[in-house]
Amino acid sequence: MRKIVVDAPKRLANLAKHGFDLEDVVFFGWDTALIGAGHADRHGRPRMKAVGRFFGRAMVVIYAELGTEAISIVSFRPASAVERALLNGDEA
């Protein structure tokens, strides 16, 4: 696993918006997550989207890659119905 970087203002914003601490992504099921391209940020920089399990719950992590050594966590939230279906292998 690469190093995980968490920005303090994003951490507080995510807690307020979604109720989840970005620091907790260390417990996210990275090994079994479905990972693909996410939406680019407002400056056009690419982001990645991981859909996986967090203590049995379907969750999504949005992150930016920082070279090959680290990732910067942008968002950590519950998965939508469509994302849950993808995780369960159902057709959306």
Instruction: Assign 88 a pLDDT band (cuts: 50, 70, 90).
Output: confident
**Angle 56-41-26 (CA atoms, 0-180°, nearest 5)?**
30
Q: Is residue 22 part of a domain?
A: yes
pLDDT in tens, 64-84: 999 999 999 999 999 999 999
Q: Is residue 64 part of a domain?
A: yes
pLDDT in tens, 26-43: 999 999 999 999 999 999
CATH number of residue 40's parent domain: 3.10.450.530
Question: How many structural domains does the chain have?
Answer: 1
pTM check: above 0.75 = yes
State which residues form the domain around 63: 3-87
> Considering the chain, what is the average pLDDT of its residues?
94
Which phi and psi (to 5°) does residue 51 adopt? -115, 120
Q: Is residue 92 part of a domain?
A: no
* Beta bridge partner(s), residue 78: 59
* Beta bridge partner(s), residue 72: 5, 64
